[in-house]
Structure 1
Amino acid sequence: MERKPVILLTGATDGIGKQTAKELAEKDYTLIIHGRNTGKVQDTVIEMENINKNSEFYGFVADYANLSDVNKFAEEVKKQFKKLDILINNAGIYSSEYKKSADGYEITYQVNHLAPVLLTLKLLENIKHGQKKKIVNVASMAHASDIDLEEVKKGGEHAGYEAYSMSKLCNILFTKKLAAITRPDGITVNCLHPGVINTKILKEGWGAFGADVKKGADNILYAVESEEAEQISGAYFMYKKAIAPAQIAFDEKVQDELWKINLDQLKSFL
């Protein structure tokens, strides 16, 4: 029997992530569900099994506000799935209050950027051995147009919109840097704006209501499955088109510096 492609979807128990999981469950994939709440992960796995009895679904719990938790999660996935075809880094938060993580970083920066970087780098070898070799990072059109790398070194000094927009710019800078590094291995690394979608993040950050989560899931699936996304790496997609993000995202010196800062911040795990 032919091996089904293995997809790891983070932040899969709520909002856009949950809807994306539902749509992937209808297709021919082995799906790894991640969330931070054990009950929600278990419920989501059962829900996916009810959608498709012929596919396999696995649940993993990890709190992105704790890098040791993320490291353990990565190690478990590495052992269980020698080949990982697609990684979708969707997990994210919006925190209107300034909070520090268990590791001493501003929580939005850690959950939205540093934790996904750790997970991705830990799983890179498994992705290299996969068939699809794809990494998709969920960024946002709300990404910042500038970055204070000294603030990043300190782990973030703001909350609310400033922290969120900086974390999303970091996602795009990381996407472009990783795309350049992994190009010889045939890995594609792209990111996207999922849309202004009716999620907890939108309500908490903007007090607004957006489009249905199905639209957000469709935008993620475009970056995962479309022919255009197959043939490009380092791109930023918005509403199913590769477009230019903020100019600073193209600055290779900034990409390099952020990469070095992140490796230093994660050195005890890599």
Structure 2
Amino acid sequence: MQDFEWQTSELSDQSGRTFVVTGASSGVGLEVAKALLTANGTVIAGVRNPAKMTSLVPQLEPSGREGRLVVRAVDVADLRSIDAFAAQLERDGFHLDALVNNAGVTTSRFETSPDGIELTFATNLIGPARLTEKLVPLLTAADPRIVLVASNLSQRTTKAPDLTAVGDPSSFSQFGTYRASKIAAAAYAVDLGRRLAEEGSRVRSVIAHPGVAATGMATQADNAVTKAIAGLITSRIARAASDSARSVIWSASSPDVEQGVFVGPDLKRRKTVLRVAQVRGAAADPAFQARVRRFVHELTPP
């Protein structure tokens, strides 16, 4: 395990580099986009509401700098939307340095995506997996990587989620389903990195967690008791979105990031170090990774 101090102010010049950031119109995603633009990078913001993102352009594109914001519509819970987004980037001739799979959701009740997939899994696993597979051919820069914005929950359990229960409304609970989706997404990211390496690809797959971020998603609880507990936890240990974004920004930009690592802050808010660790728990289990790969394949037809 490696601990080190790093602040967004240390971000090196990103001129000539292009980043796709999903869920970039608020929270951690917005802070990631802001930092990369300030460092002269080009950010392709994949968002559900382009008008909302476009309204932020005056404050995001720094005067006198080279950073450029490109706003594109994409709903990562909708496979058709993902395919259209990726196809447009290819037609426009973009060569990407990094894909930051940041968009995520937690829902208070059982819902399904336009493709009939439970919405939490559609947004946190299936959509990012589909987008990743579509954009890997565009990750042709000198030092490309895919960054999954994950949860530290995946590091804290060895119990593998039951993927056969994902579509069953009677098995749904907000916290349990969210945790399961994050464990599965981490397993997918590790498996993806291994597959890319075996193919001789230079693209690295990295997992970054923001800690407990003080964003809207942190308090979207499904009942009054859970909401009160979540609010208490958030008030005591949650970091500002700008602080939480540090691990993601570093993972997307640093030449020192390694394949398959898990990067994030200490859970104690007062500690400012970032920590690079190996993936642990169910996400590190090759058998579970294989199940996740099959699960994703079954729900994402060519």
Judge same fold: TM > 0.5, yes or no. Answer: yes
2-structure distance, mates of 1:75, 1:202:
33
Alignment check: 8 A CA contact 1:41 1:61 kept: no
* 52 and 189 in structure 1: CA distance in 2 versus 1, 3 angstrom threshold: farther
**Aligned equivalent of 1:190:** 206
Residue 170 of structure 1: which of 178, 184, 198 is its match?
A: 184
- CA RMSD in angstroms, aligned pairs only: 2.0
Q: Deviation of residue 54 (structure 1)?
A: 2.1
Q: Distance in 1 between matches of 2:217 and 2:260?
A: 25
Compute the displacement of 1:44 (Å): 2.9
Q: Is the 8 A contact 2:41 2:66 kept in 1?
A: no
Q: 1:26 to 1:75 in 2, by over 3 A?
A: same
**1:75 — aligned with what?**
87
When normalised by structure 2's length, the TM-score is 0.81
For residues 170-215 of structure 1, the C-alpha deviation after alignment (integer angstroms, 9 at most, x for no partner) is 1210111110011221111010211111001112142334211111
Is 2:298 the partner of 1:264?
yes
Deviation at 1:65, TM superposition (A): 2.9
Aligned length: 263
Mean Cα deviation higher: 7-16 or 68-77: 68-77
Residue type at the aligned position of 2:282? I
Which letter maps to 2:239? A
The whole-number CA distance in structure 2 between the counterparts of 1:227 and 1:131 is 10
For the structure 1 residues 48 and 155, does the alpha-carbon distance in structure 2 shift closer, same or farther, using more than 3 Å as the test? farther
The Cα offsets for residues 116-163 of structure 1, whole Å up to 9 and x where unpaired, read as: 111110011111x222211100000123642113224x4885241111
Counterpart of 2:40? Answer: 28
Q: Distance in 1 between matches of 2:37 and 2:186?
A: 27
Give 1:73 deviation, angstroms. Answer: 1.1
Please list every run of 5 or more consecutive structure 2 residues that lacks an aligned counterpart in the other structure: 1-13, 222-229, 266-273
Task: Give the Cα–Cα distance (whole angstroms) in 2 for the partners of residues 244 and 12 of structure 1.
Answer: 27
Measure, in 1, the Cα distance between the counterparts of 2:89 and 2:114. 22
Q: CA deviation at 1:28?
A: 2.5
The reply on whether 1:217 has 2:245 as its aligned counterpart is: yes
Which secondary structure does the structure 2 equivalent of 1:78 belong to?
helix
1:236 aligns with 2:262: yes
What is the identity, as a one-letter code, of the residue corresponding to 1:255? Q
2: CA distance, partners of 1:26 / 1:192: 21
Check if 1:63 corresponds to 2:91.
no
The TM-score normalised by the length of structure 1 is 0.90
The question of 1:125 aligning with 2:154 is answered no
Question: Does 1:104 pair with 2:120?
Answer: no
Counting aligned pairs with the same residue, the percent is 24
**One-letter code aligned to 1:234:** G
CA distance in 2, matches of 1:115, 1:69: 10
Note if contact 2:15-2:67 (Cα within 8 Å) is conserved in structure 1.
no
Segment of structure 1 superposing worse, 38-47 or 257-266: 38-47
Shift of 1:81: 3.5
Matched, 1:204 2:220: yes
CA distance in 1, matches of 2:68, 2:50: 18
Whole-angstrom CA distance in 1 between matches of 2:78 and 2:65: 34
State the 1:83 CA deviation.
Answer: 1.3
Q: Secondary structure at the match of 1:186?
A: coil
Instruction: List gaps (5 residues or longer) in structure 1.
Output: none
